[in-house]
Structure formats: C-alpha cells, structure tokens
Amino acid sequence: MSLRIVVCVKYVPDATGDRHFAEDWTLDRDDVDGLLSELDEYAVEQALQIAESAREAGEEAEITVLTVGPEDAADALRKALSMGADKAVHVEDDDLHGTDALGTSLVLAKAIEHIGYDLVVCGMASTDGAMGVLPAMLAERLSVPQATLLSELTVAGGTVTGRRDGDAATERLSAQLPAVVSVTDQSGEARYPSFKGIMAAKKKPVEALDLEDLDLDAERVGLAGSRTEVISATERPARTAGEIVTDEGEGAGQLAGFLAGQKFI
C-alpha cells in the first residue's frame, strides 16, 4: 500500500507589502515580494503528519507539492520541500496569466491527475484571492468527495475523518479516499524548515509542466479563457484621519459623545 498525497500551494504577494493591480487588473507581481501563502503551510504540515503516521503504520507515503504560478512560484515549492515534502510539480505557462478560479481549478485538476493521488490537501483559502473555492472545485472536477475546512483530521484505512467548525455547528465528516481536503489554521502550527531540510530541498526533484504537457487548450485559461472579468479596480481612499483623544479621565465621556453624535446611542 502506498499513500500518494498532493498538496496544492499558492504563491502569493506578501500581505504586509503594498499590493497593487497592473493595467489589465491582474495582480502587479513586480511590485511586491511573493511567498508561499501562509495558510498553505498548514496544508503542508498536515500532509507531513498524515504521511508520518502512514509510515508508522507500515505504509509507504509520498508527498508532492503542486503550484500553478509564474517562475518565482518555485520559491513556494522550495519552502514546502524544505519543510519535508518529497517532490514538486510546477505548472507554468505564459498563457496562464490572469486565469480565474474556474480556470485555475481546471489546470490544478489536470496536474493532480497527471501526478496520481489518493489524497489532495489544500489550504482553507489563499491570502490574496481568498475565495476559498478551489478545494470544492477540485473535488467536483476530480469526481471525489471533499472534506473541507478541517481543523483536525485523521487518515486511516482508506478513510479521512475530520472536524469542521461551521458557522452554526461543529460537524464531524468522513469520506473514502481518494478525496480532497482543506485545512484551517486551527489544524496545528506549521513546522519551520530545518537547516537539513533546506539543504535536502535543493536536491529534490521539481517537475515543470506547461499547458501542452497537460493537454490543455490555452483558450480555456488565462485572461482569454476567464469566465469573469474585472471592470475596474480603485484604491480605496485612505480613511480620513479620525479624531484621536488621549484618555486623562475624560476618554470614556468623549467617546460616548462621539457615539451619540453618530446615533449609536
């Protein structure tokens, strides 16, 4: 028995930098540093733990990290490899520029099928688009069950079980493999790459794929194939500096006056 895990990781602009749009209303990637989406570190961590317990149970396990993104996205793969993943796949193609969620899910699904999988692990949402839709889209495209937004999960005996903290209730979910899961930042701190891990990552294989390798038509991806279109993007005017008072005993009264003036009390 062997457990093949694919972890989807996204390369995103650093949220603490100034994120801007380019003229075609896609992300201006020249302007800001990119990195592995922090929320995908939790996905890598859970994959590592699942692989570790599979190996403890005498099973073989292999983790492939997968990204769809520009050349620099290799940085995200390196980070995941240095955390302990075994190999990486990078889908890169000029025609991918401006791909929407539907297109991204198509490319990811094709790549996942190309790699071969028993379990796909995603983050709960990217830190840029933050749509939180890709895992469900992948499950639909791959025709496998989804168990998403898990804060706790176990994979054993060909079944994934986990806890999903929903808006109104906490649920326990169970699904047969192959399946797609996504994990939240409550699932457990992600490990830091060790020096050994960083050195080892340099020797791990990274497979590069383009649209042709995946037998995908360029018409279906990129800005051309996108089923959504951004019409405008305007920088929100900086909030006009509000009034700030220092409390010297009067702060509460002054704040109450403001709230009353705004009709909140």
The binder of ligand FAD chosen from 46, 64, 82, 99 (CB under 6 A): 99
Question: What is the C-alpha to C-alpha distance for residues 48 and 86, in angstroms, rounded to an integer?
Answer: 10
Binding status of residue 69 toward ligand FAD by CB under 6 A: yes
Binding status of residue 131 toward ligand FAD by CB under 6 A: yes
Residue 231 near residue 118, CB atoms below 8 Å: no
What the block records as the tokens of 39 is 């929320």
Q: How many CA atoms lie within 13 A of 168 on its CB side?
A: 0
Question: Stretches 71-79, 111-119, 210-218, 234-242: which one binds other proteins (CB under 8 A)?
Answer: 234-242
Burial environment of residue 6 by CB neighbours within 10 A (0 to 12, 13 to 18, 19 or more): buried
The binder of other proteins chosen from 24, 156, 172, 212 (CB under 8 A): 172
| Residue (of 71, 72, 66, 64) closest to 14 by Cα position | 72
Smaller CB separation from ligand FAD, 1 or 224? 224
Binding status of residue 132 toward ligand FAD by CB under 6 A: yes
Binding status of residue 10 toward ligand FAD by CB under 6 A: yes
Q: Within 10 A of 39 (CB to CB), how many other CB atoms are there?
A: 23
Binding status of residue 195 toward other proteins by CB under 8 A: no
- Dihedral pair phi/psi, residue 17, rounded to 5°: -95, 180
- Dihedral pair phi/psi, residue 212, rounded to 5°: -65, -40
By rule CB under 6 A, what count of residues binds ligand FAD? 33
Residue 150 near residue 187, CB atoms below 8 Å: yes
Binding status of residue 148 toward other proteins by CB under 8 A: yes
Binding status of residue 133 toward ligand FAD by CB under 6 A: yes
| Residue (of 224, 216, 218) closest to 108 by Cα position | 216
Binding map of other proteins across residues 40-79, x = CB under 8 A, - = no contact: ----------------------------------------
The two beta strands, 11-13 and 34-36, are: antiparallel
Binding status of residue 30 toward other proteins by CB under 8 A: no
Binding status of residue 28 toward other proteins by CB under 8 A: no
The binder of other proteins chosen from 116, 158, 205, 253 (CB under 8 A): 253
User: Which residues, at least 6 apart from 93, have a Cβ–Cβ distance to it below 8 Å?
Assistant: 210, 211, 218, 221
CB of 241 to ligand FAD, least distance (A): 18
Binding status of residue 180 toward ligand FAD by CB under 6 A: no
Binding status of residue 85 toward other proteins by CB under 8 A: no
Question: Stretches 133-141, 168-176, 212-220, 249-257: which one binds ligand FAD (CB under 6 A)?
Answer: 133-141
CB of 172 to ligand FAD, least distance (A): 22
Residue 24 near residue 8, CB atoms below 8 Å: no
Residues that bind ligand FAD (CB under 6 A): 8-10, 27, 37-40, 43, 66-69, 99-102, 104, 108, 122-123, 125-126, 128-135, 185, 228
